[in-house]
Structure 1
């Protein structure tokens, strides 16, 4: 990275996945060279927290979050609010999740997913950390539960890898939540999704890879990695009619506002 390389943050990746085994030094170096100065690696099964936490402890640019992925909710022990709150004591633990609803592959566990989601929301409310939501083929239930729980007590949230309907986008924005652009938003056939993003306030937009999945062009079909956040962010700049430097700076400010603990840790470092 040169001094004039715009800085951005990969707000959602999975650096503990075997796709990155024995290569994390190089992966993180490439990210930093591309201007990706922070990465949030997401633990999707709480029993894997030690491995994910170790990555964050080892690499200065890496922060972590943890939760039970909705597709695993029926096969993993149900998380507790106390368990999630305890994890949040770590100085580089910056978010609750990912959690959410996925009825595309795992509709049969919908009720378990909903119970798990509400537990994660309660932990987000108690800690003040942002909730990280995975939503697929469950728009109506997702909008309903997020709104119901927000009436119980406010919390913050990012709709990670957002690729749902305009209605769910509006419901999230109306609650004060954020939408995160992944490589999907850069796919040629995603014009409708780009139009949905364009209707959102740019102050509520984050960028991510969801690495190792969903690599944006020109790397589509290959393993994704945090350095590729820059490709998605350039598409995001086009969506909002901004130059890349300004859009990158805006998404940095957005990340700092939502992931306040990461911003505070970095400021104190």
Structure 2
């Protein structure tokens, strides 16, 4: 049976794909990955991200600043993010959030930039793509502050956190996306949390070029590999791959309605 998957989070503008982009996209199609969302991590690189989406009918993009880049990127206010998000190819805000594991930007600056993106998400009506690592409490606090104002939707991408963050995100109506990490032998705790995610809130992603799933571990990750992750998730949830593909694709279209 043919399947249709969406890689809900990849980074096609990264140099890792600079020499074989068309081959990467061809392999994605052969694997049943019909569409991709390429994620912006630096507003100063947004034009390159947008150009990739513009060049391919099956690719959409986001606009935003990754927490690693929060200190180095120029100030971008809510109005600017909202204006950039009006482009037809832009379907989400982010990737934005908090990373207290690497702490590549001061935490106060990360929080400031994250709050700006949350407000831009609310006002634009587009979902926010959230990065959160070792920052559950502050992530929940800032998202709840935004949610109280109304109109906030989004996804916790590449989820590796606690049941606390999962439950809080789901209570706010957010979705949760699983990457190849869920296939790793060391990810037992993550799989326990994953089993609690309602099927109508689940997305799949690669986060490529990083985090290739088993059995591709150690290789450059690419959108076609999301099939391996989806196959693994389907197996441990007791679903067929076509069923999981149908559900996660429908979820993607519900959350990223502008991409549908």
Q: Which bracket does the TM-score occupy, shorter chain normalised? A: over 0.9
- How far did residue 193 of structure 1 move? 0.5
Note the alpha carbon deviations across 1:17-68, whole angstroms, 9 max, x for none: 0000021100001001100000000110001011111100111111101201
CA distance 1:16–1:107, change in 2 (3 Å) = closer
Q: Structure 1 residue runs of 4+, over 6 Å off?
A: none
Q: Tell me, yes or no, if structure 1 residue 219 matches structure 2 residue 200.
A: no
Q: 1:7 aligns with which of 1, 4, 8?
A: 4
Q: 1:131 aligns with which of 114, 128, 131?
A: 128
- How far did residue 108 of structure 1 move? 5.9
TM-score (norm 1): 0.94
- How far did residue 5 of structure 1 move? 2.1
List runs of 5+ in structure 1 lacking aligned partners.
264-269
Aligned to 1:56: 53
- How far did residue 256 of structure 1 move? 0.5
Q: Quick check: 1:121–1:155 contact (8 Å CA) kept in 2?
A: yes
Q: Tell me, yes or no, if structure 1 residue 119 matches structure 2 residue 116.
A: yes
Aligned to 2:73: 76
Q: Quick check: 2:71–2:105 contact (8 Å CA) kept in 1?
A: no
Q: Tell me, yes or no, if structure 1 residue 35 matches structure 2 residue 32.
A: yes
Note the alpha carbon deviations across 1:123-171, whole angstroms, 9 max, x for none: 1111111100000011111111111221122310100000001111111
Residues of 1 paired with 2:93 and 2:38: CA distance? 12
Q: Quick check: 1:5–1:34 contact (8 Å CA) kept in 2?
A: no
Q: 1:22 aligns with which of 19, 22, 46?
A: 19
Aligned to 1:249: 246
SS of 1:115's equivalent? helix
Residues of 2 paired with 1:127 and 1:81: CA distance? 10
- Between the two proteins, the alignment pairs up a number of residues equal to 260
Q: Quick check: 2:60–2:259 contact (8 Å CA) kept in 1?
A: yes
List runs of 5+ in structure 2 lacking aligned partners.
none
Residues of 2 paired with 1:191 and 1:116: CA distance? 32
Residues of 2 paired with 1:70 and 1:174: CA distance? 24
Q: Quick check: 2:9–2:207 contact (8 Å CA) kept in 1?
A: yes
Aligned to 1:97: 94
TM-score (norm 2): 0.98
SS of 2:38's equivalent? strand
RMSD over aligned CA atoms reads 1.0
Residues of 2 paired with 1:193 and 1:229: CA distance? 17
Note the alpha carbon deviations across 1:50-107, whole angstroms, 9 max, x for none: 1111100111111101201001101111221111111112111010000000011117
